[in-house]
Structure 1
Amino acid sequence: MTIHNHGARADWAERSGGWVQNQDVLDRAFAPFTSAVMEAVGVAREERVLDVGCGPGTLLETASRLGARAVGVDISAEMVAAARSRVPDAEVIEGDAQVTDLLDAAPGRPFDAVVSRFGTIFFEDPVDAFTNIRVACAPGARLAMVTWRSGEQDLFTCGLEPLLARLDDPPGPPPEDRPGPMGLATEEHLRAVLLEAGWDEVHLVALTARCDYRTRSTDGVDERMAVALSGSVGRVALERARRELGAEELHGLLDRARGLLAERAGHRGVGFDARAWLTAARCNPQAVAGSGR
């Protein structure tokens, strides 16, 4: 096992079960961001498209449906299994996109486009990662991705407020511009990473879109709680609560959290506005292979 992105590998080994289990909920909640990426990249039939951090295969499925030759890469074995089951026509690699030789792992011509929905934020060295991705691309290949933007909070805490308030040492939000959910949070860092990695024509759009957790038959309370408790802040909070509090008090706090969510939901159901960057760029044909400089 490579030591690169060891933290991400360990983190996803722990959390991927919740992600796969809740993939339908997350697909609904993140639908505006999925649409934004696919519209920005403009996939054409027979293009070879790489989905970085493909998860259970949402973008892969969309690209395949549009007639692309879709290839996914993910560090989590459970995510890879889910993506292969969901999109049988796609090729899905279990690997670390920071160091994996992508054209060796998925033989074929260089990629015409790269997409990602919150799959590029965990790299320990994002410059190395985006350089490695670029090396697998054709000159002028297009990149479109979304990453969480500086100041995002509801994504991590909505539904957890009573639990966090009760803990002696509640987990804080993920640090910005460090490997993790907010790994590419600021415009300056994101732009600098891509330029140094050999991408050009870098354009960032600040997106704010509603993440909607309701379904046709529910108000989204249980759906949001399931996602929140399996997320980076929720998992730590739940672990600490089990150590610090009795089972009865923890149960009461979670009931209170559900009640507050239901009150907040109103007639629209549970949801909130989330902040992300939509980034588009092109592979610089003048960049030296293996280096963005």
Structure 2
Amino acid sequence: MKLNQKPNRPNPLYIGARPPFDGKSAAGAGDASDELNPPADHGEQSYKGHQQLSGCVALVIGGDSGIGRAIALANAREGADVAFTYHKNQSDAESTQQLLQQEAGVRTCAYQLDQSKAEHCKQLLQQVNSEFGRLDILVNNAATQTTYQTADAIDIEEFENTFKINAFGTFYLCKYALDIIRESGCIINTASIQSFDPSAYLLPYAATKAAIASMTKSFASFAIHKGIRVNAVAPGPVWTPLIPNTMPEDKIENFGSNTLLGRPAQPSELAHAYVFLASPQASYITGEIYPVTGGRQQI
């Protein structure tokens, strides 16, 4: 680098959109990543791969949109074949698959999954292992959330459903994956800052994320004798379709402002953490919760 030449490093304060957001406009975006307003960056132009996962097969649960789409794309650009799941939004799944198919030499396949059912999770893992010939990386990323203004408003059935999808689903997939993932492989769960610093209006979601953080540490103990590492990433606020679809307008407007960066993360900014934890460079890391929170502060 020439003397006094500035490095090509963008100011982190302005990498992604900053609040205030138009709550009404964002909330009207629907549940598709492609319709999110303002749009999210999944790494389409920004993520550069370095073949850190060459020869691996990765399965990304909830890889059709948001953080999951960014993880799937990053894994592909790092040389991995990528299977991913979606729940109902086939349009998002097709968009993600088209994006991955542009990566030369990478195999990809989308699977519909209801992760609240144990047998569905077991069958999926067996199917991916059979069709791809192996499984090295499992990323548990799919989740649901609902906001509530009071404890009285929390619907019992919705509370149970949140646990079935977020916590039970993660448990099923981790449990059955231990019999399938190759030695030196890994499992990466998605916890949350809500695991440790819960917001009252997200009570059911936060409780499931605390359970996932705890399970991650327990599964790490069970898995290591097979040479499998288990870790979790704990994101702070991230601009994904989950936000405008599950939060009231006043929360959307200032979303991410309670971080040191003053903005939510873009999904692409989370992808690097998942790639690192899946890579050989993280060989001495297991049973850990890796925070990517933007220095979120309580306000």
Taking structure 1 as the reference length, the TM-score comes to 0.49
Higher strand share: 1
Instruction: State the structure with more CA Rg.
Output: 1
Taking structure 2 as the reference length, the TM-score comes to 0.49
